[in-house]
Amino acid sequence: MAVYTDVDDAELLDFLSTYDIGALLSCKGIAEGVENSNFFLHTRGGSFILTLYEKRVRETDLPFFLNLMEHLSAKGLNCPQPVKNRDGVALGRLSGRPAVIVTFLDGYSIHHPEPAHCAELGAALAHLHLAGGDFSMTRPNRLSVNDWRPLFTPYADRADEVATGLRTLIESELALLERDWPRALPTGVIHADLFPDNVFFLGDQISGLIDFYFACTDALAYDLAICLNAWCFGPDHFYRRDCGAALLDAYQRLRPLNVAEAAAFPMLARGAAMRFLLTRFVDSINVPPGALVRPKDPKEYLAKLRFHREVAAIGDYGLS
Amino acid sequence: MAVYTDVDDAELLDFLSTYDIGALLSCKGIAEGVENSNFFLHTRGGSFILTLYEKRVRETDLPFFLNLMEHLSAKGLNCPQPVKNRDGVALGRLSGRPAVIVTFLDGYSIHHPEPAHCAELGAALAHLHLAGGDFSMTRPNRLSVNDWRPLFTPYADRADEVATGLRTLIESELALLERDWPRALPTGVIHADLFPDNVFFLGDQISGLIDFYFACTDALAYDLAICLNAWCFGPDHFYRRDCGAALLDAYQRLRPLNVAEAAAFPMLARGAAMRFLLTRFVDSINVPPGALVRPKDPKEYLAKLRFHREVAAIGDYGLS
């Protein structure tokens, strides 16, 4: 949860005067989002989200994210749509930060996903991958297999503070992932962070996907593996085969995995667990004084990694 | 900014099913409010604020706050109105906390008040005091003159970390305030925390007052002194005579101060500065690890206290 930058009312009124969205009615900081400052913005023209991009987001990446949201919206995917100002430009500047207004999506996050939610997610993810098929821009995944060791090494000697033996486990696991990582799978636009927080439901149906600020070009099946990690384990961190089966099955109905993707899937799931284990670990020991975000528990992803190490084939995840 | 308690979607749906406000569309934590967890709640029935009361608010005080908001609303003051459930009860329970839904008010806070805003504030404060005149409940002010020394003493030896000589200054000032504090002024319901954050504007006009969780029964003129401290100093902490004159003048047009209130006003302003100096000081040295709130600077109120010590009479504030 975070609002890192306060917005002055006078500056906000100036900023809004460049848009055709009517007079300001309300603007409240939202206690969500780790990377950026987000505000619920209500004007005579409707409801919006105002985002100020903080330093963790590279300004040169913003056109990729904004054009992607616009592309996906045009393809019928329900995601925030950047609002352009009177000059036809979506990317502005407010309080010294790059700033964007996007449309507001109704819906709320599901905290304890059940198989029906995972099936909805599988279909939405396949829809996203198919809709991204003709998106012309690319962006490398800066948190993929080659980035994990450089992320870990500076903090390696503190890993055992999280769990005894964690350093040894991560180092041997990294060696294996670097050696065996599948590098020739079908690629395209992936969301790369489609956690329950970033998926809105109304009743039993998905009403929208948000937060495309990790989106990049990478193996599509890796995105599915990230979702399996984020959605298909219970609060006790035990794998839920019913949820996993529902996710994989619904995804494949719209976009069947090819033989190579299916064979690589356990390795992709292991890598996805490693990626979030590492960022959570590094975040947990880098909490700055006065941080406005509670770090997430790295041990959750250690438990998931251990589970995937025992998986032999995609069928073990419950795929029928 | 803070959301201390996460709300589970399933629990929220259960909770909302006891109200007649339509299906849930959205619920987002708001990065505002130091005492409670607040959520922007959007349903088919409209927009609301959902508040979960955290431990700093005494549950036995909640009927006072809720009935006060209802009373003031009925008198035409624009403030959040508690929404009752189907059993006619406003105070519920969610995520193990007392919980209330109130109506959402449009408007936004002014960061740099000018005399026109202070005049609006003066009128709104007088309106509040007059509308509270026949409110039947009472609640003692637990942050008044007799509470300041017990608040300060446990941390007295750390005061000079804020500013050299602060301990001596506070102790001599407390002795004077305890001796000379005006105790026989007209009393009634006061807001006691009417900072710019808690006053909403649409354009140049006040659209509503929020956050009644410090409201209590105390000298009405003390509330005006709190506002003068909060609204009538520039970002450099210098007194703005134009703002002060506008505030006092607009207030008195609706509720003229009597002779005793006018004579006591500089002492009330000094006490108000002391009250916020002390709570900010204590909060600044009590920031818990993992705090989600940035402590406010106590030195701002030290500067204001020093200013009031030089004031001889209410006329010095610019009252015409």
Mutate to test the interface with B, among A40, A51, A199 (most CBs of B within 10 A): A40
Q: For residue A36, what pLDDT is reported?
A: 87
Question: Which residues in chain B touch residue A42, judged by CB atoms under 8 angstroms apart?
Answer: 47, 106
CB contact under 8 A, B112 and A8: yes
Across the interface, of A8, A31, A106, the residue whose CB is closest to B30 is: A31
CB contact under 8 A, A10 and B111: yes
Domain ranges of chain A: 9-103, 115-317
Q: Which one, of A175, A177, A104, A159, lies nearest residue A282 by Cα? A: A159
Q: What is the ipTM of this complex?
A: 0.87
**pTM of the predicted model as reported, rounded to 2 decimal places:** 0.90
Dist CA A86 CA B154 (whole Å): 58
Contacts of B30 in chain A (CB under 8 A): 28-31, 40
CATH number for the region B115-317 comes to: 3.90.1200.10
**Could you say which of A1, A9, A200 has the minimum Cβ distance to residue B110?**
A9
Inter-chain CB proximity A40 and B30 less than 8 Å: yes
CB A1 within 8 A of CB B3: yes
CATH 3.90.550.10 fits B9-103, yes or no: no
| Residue B237: Cβ within 10 Å count | 15
**CB-based contact A25 B106, cutoff 8 Å:** yes
The pLDDT value given to residue A1: 37
Residues of A with CB under 8 A from a CB of B: 1-3, 6, 8-10, 12, 23-32, 40, 42, 47, 104, 106-112, 200-203, 287, 290-292, 294
Q: Tell me the CB-side half-sphere exposure of residue A66, using CA atoms within 13 A.
A: 21
Question: Which residues have CB under 8 Å from A164's CB, separation 6+?
Answer: none
Q: What is the pLDDT of residue A320?
A: 73
Report the residue of chain B nearest A290, measured CA to CA.
Answer: B294
Which of B9, B106, B110 is opposite residue A108, by nearest beta carbon? B9
Hey, what amino acid is at B15?
A: F
CA distance between the termini of chain B: 39
3-state secondary structure of A310: coil
- Chain A residues inside the 8 Å CB shell of B294: 290, 292
Q: What is the mean pLDDT of each run of 10 residues along chain B (320 residues)?
A: 75 96 95 82 96 88 96 97 96 94 97 97 98 97 97 96 95 98 97 97 96 96 98 96 98 98 98 97 79 78 97 92
Same fold, A9-103 and A115-317: no
- Of the candidates B26, B108, B112, which has its C-beta nearest A106's C-beta? B26
- Name the residue in chain A with its Cα closest to that of B200: A26
Consecutive 10-residue averages of pLDDT for chain A (320 residues): 75 96 95 82 96 88 96 97 96 95 97 97 98 97 97 96 95 98 97 97 96 96 98 96 98 98 98 97 79 78 97 92
Instruction: Quote the pLDDT of residue B1.
Output: 37
Which residues of chain B does A203 touch, with a Cβ-Cβ cutoff of 8 Å?
A: 23
